């Protein structure tokens, strides 16, 4: 499911003293099956852009095309709703959106809103809850009895239960411990591998390097750079200047380079794996 942004601009509270423009002429192509990372400073317009992906915000001008549905400034709510089922958005701290009596009911809320029958919705809910690692004995508990990490998993299952073909994640690992973070990123990786286009909004460049195949850099409501992470992270000065930084592996490679180790030009490693491979290769080269 490809998503196209065509000259999208967005202004908050137009014609009031609080008017502020958040997006300027955004042109963006997210191709089917990609794992796209969206990075940018706080206040760069990431969240605003994210809400355009499923029609929560309508562009002030320009258009967003999701598959065969085009969202324009004057689109009607009815025309936009099908987009919400195709594009599942996991907002930041999604555990705050739980409300129903039991975990199972909460997760089946989404599909039921799109007209799926109760029994089918609950079946999907069970399947997705198991997928995110919630055991069967918790299904009939109140979501408010769970731990923070479990609540987040339930909330994510609630989005997955709609069977979206695009999954949008807004800092899904914020506030999680390191182990839970890795587990969760691997869960998303496996969902992506099953054919779901994934869009990740994050501040963690390591996650971008490890998982994403495309990245967009947003600044002050504009896309200032886009391409493959392995290419963009080569421009270390640019990333530093925009206060985004580079992955830890790249930082370490830079330290090694400063001490005389040779890396192929424009081919600094961005993941740990690539760094290990580069070091091994240079060891072999020197020791023959």
- Positions that interact with another protein (CB under 8 A): 12-13, 16-18, 51, 54, 56, 77, 81, 84-85, 88-89, 91, 94, 96-100, 109-114, 144, 158-159, 162
Q: Of 40 and 111, which has the nearer Cβ to another protein? A: 111
Is residue 171 annotated as part of the catalytic site, yes or no? yes
Distance between CA 203 and CA 181 in Å, rounded?
13
Q: Of 85 and 202, which has the nearer Cβ to another protein? A: 85
Catalytic, out of 95, 122, 145, 171: 171
Sign of the torsion angle spanned by Cα atoms 232, 213, 275, 283: negative
Minimal distance, residue 166 CB to another protein, in Å: 12
Distance between CA 126 and CA 120 in Å, rounded?
10
Which residues sit opposite 223 in a β-bridge?
A: 218
Q: What values do phi and psi take at 119, rounded to 5?
A: -65, -40
Sign of the torsion angle spanned by Cα atoms 202, 220, 34, 154: positive
Q: Of 30 and 232, which has the nearer Cβ to another protein? A: 30
Distance between CA 154 and CA 143 in Å, rounded?
8
Q: Of 138 and 156, which has the nearer Cβ to another protein? A: 156
Minimal distance, residue 56 CB to another protein, in Å: 5
Give the catalytic positions in this structure.
Answer: 171
């Amino acid at each position: 499911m490809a998503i196209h942004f065509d000259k999208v601009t967005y202004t908050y509270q137009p014609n009031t003293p609080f008017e502020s423009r958040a997006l300027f002429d955004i042109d963006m192509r997210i191709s089917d099956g990609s794992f796209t990372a969206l990075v940018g400073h706080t206040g760069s317009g990431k969240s605003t852009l994210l809400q355009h992906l499923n029609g929560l915000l309508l562009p002030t001008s320009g258009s967003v095309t999701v598959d065969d549905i085009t969202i324009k400034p004057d689109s009607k709510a009815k025309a936009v709703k099908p987009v919400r089922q195709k594009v599942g958005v996991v907002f930041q701290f999604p555990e705050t959106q739980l409300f129903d009596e039991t975990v199972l009911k909460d997760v089946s809320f989404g599909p039921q809103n799109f007209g799926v029958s109760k029994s089918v919705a609950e079946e999907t809910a069970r399947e997705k809850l198991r997928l995110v690692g919630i055991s069967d004995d918790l299904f009939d508990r109140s979501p408010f009895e769970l731990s923070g990490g479990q609540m987040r998993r339930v909330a994510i299952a609630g989005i997955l239960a709609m069977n979206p073909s695009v999954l949008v994640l807004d800092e899904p690992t914020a506030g999680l411990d390191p182990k839970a973070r890795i587990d969760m990123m691997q869960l998303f990786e496996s969902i992506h591998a099953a054919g779901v286009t994934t869009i990740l909004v994050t501040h963690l460049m390591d996650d971008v390097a490890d998982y994403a195949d495309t990245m967009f850099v947003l600044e002050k409501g504009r896309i200032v750079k886009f391409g493959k992470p392995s290419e963009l992270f080569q421009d270390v000065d640019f990333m530093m200047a925009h206060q985004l930084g580079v992955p830890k592996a790249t930082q370490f490679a830079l330290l090694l380079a400063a001490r005389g180790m040779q890396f192929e030009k424009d081919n600094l490693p961005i993941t740990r794996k690539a760094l290990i491979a580069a070091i091994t290769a240079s060891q072999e080269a020197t020791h023959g």
